[in-house]
A and B are shown apart, each in its own frame.
Chain A
Amino acid sequence: NAGVTQTPKFRVLKTGQSMTLLCAQDMNHEYMYWYRQDPGMGLRLIHYSVGEGTTAKGEVPDGYNVSRLKKQNFLLGLESAAPSQTSVYFCATGITDTQYFGPGTRLTVL
């Protein structure tokens, strides 16, 4: 029972490149979330999903897209990476009153 896993753990991109971050959960939760963590800023919600096939924007959605084609997976895409997207990205899954976080993906955009 792995809980919440994120792939990859680390990635370095050049400005303008694209990539997809994968979040997978085996907890059978309906809700999934993507956050970014920047020094001194806490975590901020990028996008979220309340069920398979549904997505919604969070606080900082610009420059990102998401998809939830299967209940257990939530993908975060960067179409044209920018240095401002250098961050640590956390996926979380949840039920009504609790969220469970993955280990994070550290992304650097040069």
Chain B
Amino acid sequence: AQSVTQLDSQVPVFEEAPVELRCNYSSSVSVYLFWYVQYPNQGLQLLLKYLSGSTLVKGINGFEAEFNKSQTSFHLRKPSVHISDTAEYFCAVSDRVGGGADGLTFGKGTHLIIQP
């Protein structure tokens, strides 16, 4: 079984400031890691994913995340946010052993609020 903890339910940030959204996971097996974004009244869009290889992963819209196996973390960062980044962000894991077929386990989400 897996679980995902997003440590902050809301993160307010000023426009053009850097941001970090925190994600920790626990699992008895090795996992794939994902960040999804949800804009108001829309579905989920994949930001980035970690499957293997380099622990620093770059995604769309200038976001990146770093996989830290020893700390079981996968924090999302952006060096300079824009008002259009206001959205809900979800961290998720899937079971690597099962090939990712049996679905995603999501965190509860972090609402990123960009202040002008």
Write the residues of chain A forming the contact surface with B, with a CB cutoff of 8 angstroms: 4, 31, 33, 35, 40-45, 48, 50, 56, 58-59, 90, 92, 94, 96-104
A-B contact pairs, 13 of them (CB 8 A): A31-B101, A33-B103, A35-B104, A40-B9, A42-B4, A42-B109, A58-B103, A90-B43, A90-B44, A97-B32, A98-B49, A101-B43, A101-B45
Would B100 and A97 count as touching, CB distance under 8 A? Answer: yes
Known: A103-B42, A104-B43. A96 touches B99 (CB 8 A): yes
Write the residues of chain B forming the contact surface with A, with a CB cutoff of 8 angstroms: 4, 9, 32, 36, 42-46, 49, 51, 90, 92, 94, 99-109
A35 and B92 CA atoms in complex are apart in Å by 13
Minimum C-beta distance from A63 to chain B (A): 18
Q: Which of B49, B51, B100 has the most CB of A within 10 A?
A: B100
Would B106 and A44 count as touching, CB distance under 8 A? Answer: yes
A102 and B101 CA atoms in complex are apart in Å by 18
Would B49 and A97 count as touching, CB distance under 8 A? Answer: yes
Known: A97-B49, A102-B43. A48 touches B106 (CB 8 A): no
Please indicate the chain B residues that have their CB under 8 angstroms from the CB of A94 in the complex. Answer: 100-101
Minimum C-beta distance from A58 to chain B (A): 6
Would A42 and B101 count as touching, CB distance under 8 A? Answer: no
A94 and B107 CA atoms in complex are apart in Å by 19
Please indicate the chain A residues that have their CB under 8 angstroms from the CB of B106 in the complex. Answer: 35, 42-44
Minimum C-beta distance from B69 to chain A (A): 18
Please indicate the chain B residues that have their CB under 8 angstroms from the CB of A31 in the complex. Answer: 101
Minimum C-beta distance from B75 to chain A (A): 17
Please indicate the chain B residues that have their CB under 8 angstroms from the CB of A4 in the complex. Answer: 43
Minimum C-beta distance from A69 to chain B (A): 19
Known: A50-B101, A104-B43. A97 touches B108 (CB 8 A): no
Contact of A45 among B45, B99, B104, B107 (CB under 8 A): B104
Would B49 and A101 count as touching, CB distance under 8 A? Answer: no
Please indicate the chain B residues that have their CB under 8 angstroms from the CB of A45 in the complex. Answer: 103-105
Minimum C-beta distance from B76 to chain A (A): 15
Known: A90-B43, A90-B44. A99 touches B104 (CB 8 A): yes
